[in-house]
Amino acid sequence: MKQNFNGYLRGDGRKGIRNQLLVVYLVECAHHVAREIATTYRDQGAQVVGFSGCYPNAYADRMMSALCTHPNVGGVLLVSLGCESFDRKKLAATVAESGRPVNTLVIQQHGGTRTTIEQGKAWAEQTLAIMKNSPRVPMSVDELVIGTICGGSDATSGITANPAIGRAFDRFVAEGASAIFEETGELIGCEDILEQRAVTPELAKILRGSVEKAARYYTTLGHGSFAPGNSEGGLTTQEEKSLGAYSKSGDSMISGLLKPGDRPASGGLYLLDVVPDGAVRFGFPNINDNAEIAELAACGAHLILFSTGRGSVVGSAVSPVIKVCANPETYRNLSDDMDIDSGRILEGKATLEEVGKEIFDLSIEVADGRLTASESLGHQEFVLGYKTFEPTGPACHPTSG
């Protein structure tokens, strides 16, 4: 198996596995214009992301800065209505400082919908031509950042796809890559075993605290991370779901805790805390799986391993999504949307180790340019809402030195 591949070298020294042009709406009122601009160049790597809110939020600012300077992104077009609170000048300056081409169109200042779309298309065409000359350089496994998430979980998820991803994670970590798992709301009941895997006692307390925070948050909302579809799929309790979700992390020691927009300082295994800090202000931490995928991407994840038992069909803007299907019946029903059939484990046709290696090998192929099922189907889902986070301290990053 080829372990080295070519990446796109960015001005900040990071390397990407895709070369995408982001068309970014800075308020929902600009979403249609952004979509119309990007659709023409969809097959050339144009993707749409954005923030719907009219009112400011530091979390959204940080997320958009991280995504617009993601190593998979080669250029950025910002589309503003003109009266929203998003600081478009600051975001444009951040992108420019990263060495990427950037332009801002303000609909209220550019003659409205039709003329803004025309100007956006003209800039996108010129920029895509420039991006074709982005330098390609050798890239190795230890430069990758891999994220994982589960969605549409059922009773098979925790015994096939999730632990198989855990096997792949162990191999990535052993080869020096950064691996990120998340969903602290789906780790409730796993506090003790998380603590035992922390590289320092201080980090152990932080990991426990992140899960306890999630439990308090969901208690306040009166809603846990357990959907009717999980029950219909054979899961019985939050604890059972948590143990299945936990198995995606593998067995490596946990090197640190991240919050959305934090990047791993070195290779290793990291927990991403996606539950807001402080009092419950904005409702559910993530309204669907796409919000969590965006947060993994904001932490620098080049690609995402997505475990699903019931069958999720979503992909993602920015970072390719590899679908690891847990249930053999789901795989047969939704094979066009899936990349790996880990349900073969249930049928005695493969072992956890074999499927884990398959996930690892496919990840390298995707990093080298192979399209995932969701990419081939044109999926570019993206969600960004309101949250509040406090900065992480040194104890969250004990391996950064």
336's tokens = 């066009």
pLDDT of residue 57 exceeding 80, the answer is yes
User: Which of 121, 131, 133, 132 lies closest to 41, judged by CA?
Assistant: 121
Burial bucket for residue 89 (CB in 10 Å: 0-12, 13-18, 19+): exposed
| pLDDT band, very low/low/confident/very high, at 2 (cuts 50, 70, 90) | very low
pTM: 0.95
Instruction: Output the CA–CA distances (angstroms, integers) from residue 209 to 221, 238, 314, 345, 390, in the order listed.
Output: 18, 18, 31, 35, 14
> pLDDT for 8-43, tens place per residue?
999 989 999 999 999 999 999 999 999 999 999 999
For residue 216, the tally of other CB atoms under 10 A from its CB is 12
Region of 149 (left: φ > 0; alpha: ψ -120 to 50; beta: rest) is beta
| pLDDT band, very low/low/confident/very high, at 185 (cuts 50, 70, 90) | confident
- In total, the chain counts a number of residues equal to 401
| pLDDT band, very low/low/confident/very high, at 222 (cuts 50, 70, 90) | confident
Q: 20-25 and 46-50: which strand pairing?
A: parallel
Cα end-to-end distance, the chain, whole Å: 32
pLDDT of residue 183 exceeding 60, the answer is yes
C-alpha–C-alpha distance, residues 3 and 280, integer Å: 45
> pLDDT for 66-83, tens place per residue?
999 999 999 999 999 999
State the amino acid at position 51 in one-letter form.
F
Residue 313 · residue 334 · CB < 8 Å: yes
User: Which of 89, 39, 94, 31 lies closest to 62, judged by CA?
Assistant: 94
Q: What is the pLDDT of residue 78?
A: 98
Residue 61 · residue 87 · CB < 8 Å: yes
The architecture (CATH level 2) of 20-133 comes to: 3-Layer(aba) Sandwich (3.40)
Burial bucket for residue 70 (CB in 10 Å: 0-12, 13-18, 19+): buried
pLDDT of residue 262 exceeding 70, the answer is yes
Burial bucket for residue 152 (CB in 10 Å: 0-12, 13-18, 19+): buried
| pLDDT band, very low/low/confident/very high, at 186 (cuts 50, 70, 90) | confident
Residue 250 · residue 169 · CB < 8 Å: yes
Mean pLDDT for the stretch of residues 313-325: 96
Q: Give residue limits of the domains in the chain.
A: 20-133, 140-396
Residue 316 · residue 288 · CB < 8 Å: no
* Better-predicted residue by pLDDT, 228 or 65: 65
pLDDT of residue 153 exceeding 70, the answer is yes
C-alpha–C-alpha distance, residues 97 and 85, integer Å: 22
Percent of the chain whose pLDDT exceeds 70: 94
Mean pLDDT for the stretch of residues 251-267: 96
